[in-house]
Amino acid sequence: MSSWSDGRRPLTLAILALGGEGGGVLADWTVAAAERAGWHAQNTSVAGVAQRTGATVYYVELFPAVRGEPIMSIFPTPGEVDVVIASELMECGRAIQRGFATPDRTTLIASTNRVYSIDEKMALGDGRVDDRELLAAAGRSSKRLIAADFAALAEDTGSVISASLFGALAGSGAFPLSREQFEAPIRAFGKDTDASLAAFAAGFEAAATSTVAAERRDNGARAPEADKATEEQRRTAIAATEPSALVGPGLRELAEQTRELPAAARSMTLHGLVRTAVYQDLAYAERYLERVGRFAGVEPDRDGEARLTLEAARHIALWMCYQDTIHVALQKTRRARLERVREEAKAKPDQLFEIHDFLHPRVEEITDTMPVVLGATLRRSKTFKRVVGKLTDRGMILNTTSITGYALLTTMARLRPLRPRSLRFRREQRAIEAWIGKALAVADDDPGLAREIIECQAVLKGYGSTLAHGSESFHKLMAAADSIAGSPGAASRLAELRAAALADEDGAALDAELAA
Residues 22-78 pLDDT 10s: 888 999 999 999 999 888 889 898 876 544 445 789 999 998 876 667 778 888 889
Beta strand pairing call for 107-111 and 144-148: parallel
Q: How far is CA 138 from CA 7, 85, 109, 213, 221, in A?
A: 29, 12, 9, 15, 19
Integer Rg of the chain from CA: 28
Q: Are 101 and 78 in contact (CB under 8 A)?
A: no
Residues 305-329 pLDDT 10s: 999 999 999 999 999 999 999 999 9
Position 453 scores a pLDDT of 97
Backbone angles phi, psi at 102, to 5 degrees: -135, 145
- How far is 57 from 44, CA to CA, in rounded Å? 8
pLDDT bucket at 218, cuts 50 / 70 / 90 = very low
For the cut 60, the answer to whether the pLDDT of residue 273 exceeds it is: yes
For the cut 50, the answer to whether the pLDDT of residue 118 exceeds it is: yes
Quick one: what percent of the chain has pLDDT higher than 70? 88
The number of CA neighbours under 13 Å toward the Cβ of 59 is: 19
pLDDT bucket at 461, cuts 50 / 70 / 90 = confident
* Mean pLDDT for the stretch of residues 93-109: 92
- How far is 303 from 475, CA to CA, in rounded Å? 33
Could you give the maximum distance between any two Cα atoms of the chain, in Å?
86
* Mean pLDDT for the stretch of residues 126-132: 80
pLDDT bucket at 221, cuts 50 / 70 / 90 = very low
- How far is 74 from 10, CA to CA, in rounded Å? 12
pLDDT bucket at 240, cuts 50 / 70 / 90 = very low
Position 380 scores a pLDDT of 92
Q: How far is CA 39 from CA 32, 63, 67, 184, 441, in A?
A: 10, 6, 10, 15, 76
Residue with more model confidence, 250 or 143: 143
Residues 332-377 pLDDT 10s: 999 989 988 888 787 888 888 899 998 888 888 899 999 999 999 9
Position 263 scores a pLDDT of 95
Residue with more model confidence, 121 or 400: 400
Q: Cα dihedral angle (439, 441, 447, 452), rounded to 10 degrees? A: -20
Position 211 scores a pLDDT of 53
- How far is 61 from 72, CA to CA, in rounded Å? 7
Beta strand pairing call for 40-47 and 55-63: antiparallel
Residues 480-513 pLDDT 10s: 999 999 999 999 999 999 999 998 878 889 999 9
For the cut 50, the answer to whether the pLDDT of residue 432 exceeds it is: yes
- DSSP reduced 3-state for 262: coil
- In 3D space, the residue among 485, 493, 489 whose CA is nearest the CA of residue 510 turns out to be 493
Amino acid at 202: A
Position 2 scores a pLDDT of 52
Plot region of 130 (φ>0 → left; ψ -120 to 50 → alpha; else → beta): beta
Residue with more model confidence, 67 or 229: 67
Average pLDDT, the chain: 86
For the cut 80, the answer to whether the pLDDT of residue 454 exceeds it is: yes
- How far is 212 from 107, CA to CA, in rounded Å? 15
What stretch of H or E contains 40?
A: strand 40-47
- How far is 76 from 73, CA to CA, in rounded Å? 7
The beta-carbon contacts of 135-140 under 8 Å, at least 24 apart in sequence, are 135/89, 135/110, 137/93, 137/96, 138/92, 138/93, 138/96, 138/101, 138/108, 138/110, 139/214, 140/103
Residues 184-212 pLDDT 10s: 999 998 778 999 999 999 999 999 877 54
Q: How far is CA 412 from CA 405, 415, 429, 495, in A?
A: 11, 5, 21, 39
Burial classification of residue 172, based on how many CB atoms lie within 10 Å of its CB (0-12 exposed, 13-18 middle, 19 or more buried): buried
Plot region of 178 (φ>0 → left; ψ -120 to 50 → alpha; else → beta): beta
Position 482 scores a pLDDT of 95
Position 237 scores a pLDDT of 38
Q: How far is CA 16 from CA 34, 56, 319, 355, 463, in A?
A: 20, 6, 40, 30, 35
- In 3D space, the residue among 126, 146, 150, 130 whose CA is nearest the CA of residue 138 turns out to be 146
- How far is 238 from 74, CA to CA, in rounded Å? 55
Q: Are 364 and 370 in contact (CB under 8 A)?
A: no
Position 49 scores a pLDDT of 52
pLDDT bucket at 223, cuts 50 / 70 / 90 = very low
pLDDT bucket at 248, cuts 50 / 70 / 90 = low
Neighbours of 184 (CB within 10 A): 17
pLDDT bucket at 290, cuts 50 / 70 / 90 = very high
Position 192 scores a pLDDT of 81
Chain CA centroid to CA 348, Å: 26
Instruction: Provide the CATH topology of domain 4-232.
Output: Pyruvate-ferredoxin Oxidoreductase; domain 3 (3.40.920)
For the cut 80, the answer to whether the pLDDT of residue 119 exceeds it is: no
- How far is 121 from 332, CA to CA, in rounded Å? 19
* Mean pLDDT for the stretch of residues 127-144: 88
What is the residue extent of each domain of the chain? 4-232, 243-321, 325-423, 427-516
Residue with more model confidence, 220 or 469: 469
pLDDT bucket at 298, cuts 50 / 70 / 90 = very high
